């Protein structure tokens, strides 16, 4: 039997940024398969619907053959287990991310002790980018070049011009 190393890269991706895409590309070189898990966010109210967020990610990862994207509800460890993934990949931008991510990693391992969280350091050129910052910038009609993948810039701008 061939053993596939499958990883889940979870997030809200509201919307996907160049920082997220960098982690997806790098993870796709480390794992046999990467499943991008888009949280449907029942409690938060995302700017983009889960379908829109999945669509944007699929568009910008079309060149990556071993990357799949789907939305999920419920616990991340259940989503990972359902896909045969034993690894959760997370990106770390600054030390500010660390405390929360450390707590989540411990919690997820307590929920499923076969599930490992592995962190990838965000490329320094993306360390200041966040989806919230993209939304704020888009709201002020700021330049999104270099911050989100170029093929989705117009889509994001259109959303804020409605
Ligand atoms: O991009 P985000 O919003 O920082 O991603 C957060 C995410 C999706 C990774 C996190 O909210 C999550 O794993 N949610 C699923 C529910 C879950 O498993 N929570 C942990 C136990 S309460």
pLDDT of residue 1: 57
Q: How far is the CA of 76 from the centre of ligand 1 (A)?
A: 7
- For a ligand 1 pocket test, name from 9, 76, 100, 108 the mutation site with the most ligand atoms within 8 angstroms of its C-beta: 76
Of 61, 62, 16, the closest CA to residue 39 belongs to: 16
**Tens digit of pLDDT for each residue in 147-159?**
999 999 999 999 9
Mean of pLDDT values over 15-35:
98
| Residue 18 beta carbon below 6 angstroms from any ligand 1 atom | no
Which residues are bridge partners to 105 per DSSP? none
Q: How far is the CA of 104 from the centre of ligand 1 (A)?
A: 8
Q: How far is the CA of 25 from the centre of ligand 1 (A)?
A: 21
Q: Does 89 score more than 80 pLDDT?
A: yes
Of 62, 58, 59, 60, the closest CA to residue 71 belongs to: 58
* Inter-residue contact 17 to 129 (CB < 8 Å): yes
| Residue 46 beta carbon below 6 angstroms from any ligand 1 atom | no
Of all protein residues, the one whose alpha carbon is nearest to atom 13 of ligand 1 is 76
Q: Does 67 score more than 90 pLDDT?
A: yes
**Tens digit of pLDDT for each residue in 90-145?**
999 999 999 999 999 999 999 999 999 999 999 999 999 999 999 999 999 999 99
Task: Please indicate whether residue 63 or residue 160 has the higher confidence score (pLDDT).
Answer: 63
Does this model's pTM top 0.85? My answer is yes
Strands (E), 12-109: 33-39, 67-72, 87-92
pLDDT of residue 41: 77
């Amino acid at each position: 039997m061939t053993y596939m190393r499958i990883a889940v890269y979870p997030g809200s991706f509201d919307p996907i940024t160049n920082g997220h895409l960098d982690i997806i590309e790098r993870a796709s070189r480390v794992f046999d398969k990467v499943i991008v898990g888009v949280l449907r966010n029942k409690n938060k109210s995302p700017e983009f619907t889960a379908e829109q967020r999945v669509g944007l990610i699929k568009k910008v990862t079309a060149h990556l053959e071993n990357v799949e994207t789907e939305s999920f509800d419920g616990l991340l460890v259940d989503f990972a287990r359902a896909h045969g993934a034993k690894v959760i990949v997370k990106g770390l931008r600054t030390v500010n991310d660390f405390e929360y991510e450390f707590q989540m990693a411990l919690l997820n391992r307590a929920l499923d002790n076969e599930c490992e969280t592995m962190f990838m350091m965000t490329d320094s050129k993306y360390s200041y980018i966040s989806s919230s910052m993209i939304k704020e910038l888009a709201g002020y009609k700021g330049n999104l070049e270099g911050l989100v993948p170029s093929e989705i810039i117009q889509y994001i701008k259109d959303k804020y011009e409605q």
